[in-house]
A and B are shown apart, each in its own frame.
Chain A
Amino acid sequence: KNQVEQSPQSLIILEGKNCTLQCNYTVSPFSNLRWYKQDTGRGPVSLTIMTFSENTKSNGRYTATLDADTKQSSLHITASQLSDSASYICVVSDRGSTLGRLYFGRGTQLTVWP
């Protein structure tokens, strides 16, 4: 069964600190992995997209890594800011069809305190 599991479910950190969010998946065949940021009451916004051949990708203070062999990804946030408080969602796409299909994780709820 294709699944995407994220940990931790929730996380609280102090402003300025770093943190790392985890994503494990069993989706096969694998096409790409995306990280989205979703503010409360808003739609998700894309942070990074990585294919099989990419093992790291950065977007400002966000750095995503991918290990396709172990089917694990992480999202590292550097020097956190209050505006980083949001849900971070890991999404994996398969190559089961020409159009692909998206499998969503439940997200990690990050809270940054001043």
Chain B
Amino acid sequence: EADIYQTPRYLVIGTGKKITLECSQTMGHDKMYWYQQDPGMELHLIHYSYGVNSTEKGDLSSESTVSRIRTEHFPLTLESARPSHTSQYLCASSEREGEGSANEKLFFGSGTQLSVL
């Protein structure tokens, strides 16, 4: 099935700490995305990338940053974690046709559940 991996699966951290959520895919997909999801709520796009050295902010304002130095790797960083950052973070990738193309599939990782105390 999907070859997209996120680490860690769970993270509990204190306020003010710097954290990096890892996401890697082995499918060679150009497009990668970060979504934030709270319980019972819809997914919100916070960052996306169309390829190496390309990053854009999504619909939901986020204090996080991303980088895309290699095709397979799309890490998300929070410089100073706060309790309001507590959420599930989902990484996804898709093929070149684009996020909304009918013939394009979006593959999700298993997510990182972040809790900031």
Query: Which residues of the other chain, A, contact B110 by a CB distance below 8 angstroms?
Result: 41-43
Q: Which 5 A-B pairs have the closest CB atoms?
A: A100-B100, A43-B108, A93-B100, A104-B42, A99-B98
Task: Output the least CB separation between B107 and chain A (Å).
Answer: 8
The answer to whether B111 touches A99, judged by C-beta atoms less than 8 angstroms apart, is no
- B105 interface hit (Cβ, 8 Å): yes
Q: Which residue of A lies closest to B48 (CB)?
A: A99
- B99 interface hit (Cβ, 8 Å): yes
The answer to whether B1 touches A45, judged by C-beta atoms less than 8 angstroms apart, is yes
The answer to whether A41 touches B99, judged by C-beta atoms less than 8 angstroms apart, is no
- A101 interface hit (Cβ, 8 Å): yes
- A28 interface hit (Cβ, 8 Å): no
- A11 interface hit (Cβ, 8 Å): no
Task: Output the least CB separation between B41 and chain A (Å).
Answer: 6
A residues 27-46 in Cβ contact with B at 8 Å: 31-32, 41-46
The answer to whether B99 touches A101, judged by C-beta atoms less than 8 angstroms apart, is yes
Q: Chain A 81-113, CB within 8 Å of chain B: the 1/0 string?
A: 000000001000111011111101111010000
For chain B, the bracket of interface size reads 20 to 34
Chain B interface, >50% SS class: loop
Query: Which residues of the other chain, B, contact A43 by a CB distance below 8 angstroms?
Result: 2, 4, 90-92, 108-111
Q: Which of A4, A42, A44, A99 contacts B99 (CB 8 A)?
A: A99
Provide 15 A-B residue pairs closer than 8 Å at the C-beta atoms, listed in order of the A residue.
Answer: A31-B102, A41-B110, A41-B113, A43-B110, A44-B90, A44-B108, A45-B2, A49-B102, A97-B100, A99-B101, A101-B99, A102-B106, A105-B42, A107-B42, A109-B40
- B45 interface hit (Cβ, 8 Å): yes
Q: Which residue of A lies closest to B100 (CB)?
A: A100
Inter-chain CA distance A100–B102, complex, in Å, is 10
A residues 3-23 in Cβ contact with B at 8 Å: 4, 9
- B43 interface hit (Cβ, 8 Å): yes
The answer to whether B101 touches A46, judged by C-beta atoms less than 8 angstroms apart, is no
Task: Output the least CB separation between A79 and chain B (Å).
Answer: 23
Q: Which residue of B lies closest to A50 (CB)?
A: B102
Q: Which of B43, B99, B102 contacts A51 (CB 8 A)?
A: B102
The answer to whether B105 touches A93, judged by C-beta atoms less than 8 angstroms apart, is no
